[in-house]
Every structure is written in structure tokens, then in C-alpha cells.
Amino acid sequence: MRLASWNVNSLKVRLPHLLDWLELQRPDVVCLQETKLEDSNFPFDALQSAGYHVACAGQKTYNGVAILSREPLTDVVRGIPGWQDEQQRVLTACIGAVRVVCVYVPNGQSVESDKYRYKLEWLAALKTYLQDELRRHAQLAVLGDYNIAPTGSDVYDPQVWKDVVLVSAPEREAFSALLGLGLVDSFSLFEHAEPVFTWWDYRMGAFRRNMGLRIDHILLSQALAGDCSDWRVDLEPRRRERPSDHAPVLVDCNPDMQSAAPAAG
DNA sequence: ATGGCTATGTAGCATAGA
């Protein structure tokens, strides 16, 4: 099963890129972030014609998440249950025995900002939610734009990216806390000779100079991580005209599509 | 290198992203 995550930065603008890319990569499941579309404007027809079932949780102008899947989506849940949030940032669904959570973690703006406090509170709520989901689903995948570069190796210049939003200690601790639940950053299952990034600023020729950050992640429960055979970022869409500032991230894994029950213990 | 692009809502620029 091929799982992917892509912050498209407006699905309206990026739909042609997405449709081309779906045909090339043929992922089984795709989590989209920053769709910036109300559900009434979601391009259902184009994606259904491309062979995908769709679940979406959008809003006008900002945020918005969606899950595309070749197999039907069931048990769809919008947001973090029990945690009120105006912003559409979380969507969860089952594909067979695999539970998929699509997340768009708040940016935080700056460590002095109220938005930064919201980000940390949001991450704490996400942790509680994922802990709960892990109890219910042995095969859990949490894909999305985390807006956190976990280590100094995940930024092009650790001197520049120091104690600022996206790399601050509290944010990195919040990310580690998700791993502490028993989730694995699928990136870390493989060796990487060169730095790997998933986002590059539109300005300053950042992509051309590979001045990027690794902030889009695919976390897998132990049951899925054990059979994960590949992790990669696809740079091709970022090279196109009018690209998203994020590149899609993909993993290949081999879930057990029969058993939905969590492992004992 | 200091918000230098890009997208949205909306009709000039403001807000947000990371």
C-alpha cells in the first residue's frame, strides 16, 4: 500500500498538478493539506474520475484537509473529537484495517505569538487523540504537514534555524511526544546520505539552492512500520510552473488488510 | 537579507504561510 501526504497550498490552483501526479505515482491513499476550499467547492468529480474516493473537511481561504483513497473510506471523523476548533486541520478515516489521520499542524507564526501557544495546545490535544486511536487501531498512519523540523539535520542551516518557530524546543518535544506514543517517523527507517527536505520558501530561489526544511512527516504505528519498504519525497511537482511550496512525501508499506483489532498489550 | 513569493478575498491592499 502506497501512502502519501502533500500540502498543496490551494487545491483549486494545484488540481492539474495533483491529477498528473496521481496518475504517475498511483498512490493508494493521499492526505492533502491546505486545500483552502469549502466542501461545497471540492473537486469531487475530477478526483472520482481519477479513481479516488474522497473525504474532506475544508473551509474558505485557510487550512482544509482531505483524504483520497482507491478503496472506500469508512468511519470518517472530522477534527479532534472533544476539542473544539474553528480551523479545519484534522481528518480521520479507515481504509480497510488501516486507520489514517490527515493532519495540518498550525504554523505558529513566531514563538512570541498567540498562534504559537495555540500550536502547542493543539499538539497536546492531537497527542491525546492519537493515544486513543492507537488503542483502537493497531495499524495507524498519521500523515501531514507538522510544521516542525524534528532535528538540526532537517533544516538547511541549523545556525539560522535556531530557537525559532518550526524548530523551537517545545515544538520538537511535542513531536517527540507523538513518537513516545509508539509511532515511528517512517523517514528514520531508512538511511539518507544527503539532507532531505519537503518544503522550500518561494523566495530567494530557495528550491534551486536546496534551502529547505523537512516538516512533512508520515508517522506509522509499529505494526505498519515493521513492513515499510520505502520512504521518499517526490521533487518533481516542486520543479513545475506555479508549484506548491511543499513536495509530496510517500511511503510503501504492506498492511494486513484483514485484522482491524489492536495487538495485545 | 530586512517578508524578497504565492494564494485568498476582494477591488487597494490586508492576512497568512513557514
Is the minimum distance from the CB of A202 to strand B below 7 Å? yes
Residues of A marked as catalytic: 104, 145
Is the minimum distance from the CB of A113 to strand B below 7 Å? no
Report pLDDT for A31: 98
Report pLDDT for A204: 94
Q: Rounded mean pLDDT of chain A? A: 96
Is the minimum distance from the CB of A144 to strand B below 7 Å? no
Is the minimum distance from the CB of A138 to strand B below 7 Å? no
Straight-line distance from CA A7 to C1' B2, in Å? Answer: 28
Report pLDDT for A226: 97
Report pLDDT for A257: 86
Tens-place pLDDT, residues A169-189: 999 999 999 999 999 999 999
Report pLDDT for A265: 44
Pairing of strands A228-233, A249-253: antiparallel
Q: Which residues of chain A have pLDDT under 50?
A: 264-265
Residue nearest to nucleotide B4 (CA to C1'): A203
Report pLDDT for A262: 57
